[in-house]
Structure 1
Amino acid sequence: MRRAEREAAFTDYVAARQVHLRRIAYAICGDWHRADDLLQISLTKLYVAWPRVCGKGTEDAYVRQIMVRANIDEHRRPWRREHVTDEVPELEAGADHQLEERSALFDALQELPEMQRKVVVLRHWLQLSVADSAKELGISEGTVKSHSSRGLAALERALSSTPQG
């Protein structure tokens, strides 16, 4: 594949998947500004690896793994600071009725401990298997199951106590 074709394929992939990947980044880190940074880092690293990844059908998994690892790296930095935000992303037209439900879900998701949040996102939002989630996070399958169970229970408690409008 020529360079121009690879770059066109990369551009098409990013155009098609950017919104979805940004939401995954937000679900992982809990802040839209950090999610944008995380997505940018991930897409930059994907661009470098694009000749190896392109056309194999593993592009999304590769980007998710980059996001998880980049987020872990960011948490290890001593200058990292938490910034809580009440902003909700703009939704597409016709999706306004889902705003409150989605906002409550994301708020509850952000209350989870970091590893539980990552497991819940990978297992239940992205529907990865236990084995795939364990591999992406670098933990055992039993730990994935434990975090998943505890995270879902905490989400259920938080969402059942949320007033419904």
Structure 2
Amino acid sequence: MKTLAELFEHTLHDIYYAENAIAKALPTVSKAVTDSKLKQAFDDHLEETKGHVQILKKVFSSVGLKPEGEKCDAIEGLLKESAGLIEETSGTALNAGLLAAAQAVEHYEIARYGSLREWAKVLGHDEAHKLLSEILDEEKAANSKLTNLAVAGVNKK
């Protein structure tokens, strides 16, 4: 990649892959936790993630690209970490561990969407900028919800 446009396109394919991988992993994570509020947060985020995939399709369309994923090593590693926690951890420690792993995913998404949004603006992709801002705001809200769950009880248990 030699241009911002190429970097934008690559990263857009990367996050599309990531969102689809997250959507596939969330049901397993939700099933593994025992805290009802955390389970509900994961279930809610699954629906939000499915919505992000649909919004990303609009982003692709708005910039004249086909919605395709490109393997994202970062999300693969983060999801592998979650799978490892499910195998190696139990009880309330599992809840805290999976909550922390989910926040790592959120932080990754926030970083990616923040960059994509600003690159879209620089490249003059106004519709993509608007749509990416929408997703970024939802990712920040999801991270805040997870933080509140951690502080209000999951970590204390």
> Which one has a bigger Cα radius of gyration?
1
Give me the TM-score of the superposition, normalised by structure 1. 0.32
Q: Greater RCO between the two (CA within 8 Å, min separation 6)?
A: 2
Give me the TM-score of the superposition, normalised by structure 2. 0.33
Judging by fraction of residues, say which structure has more helix.
2
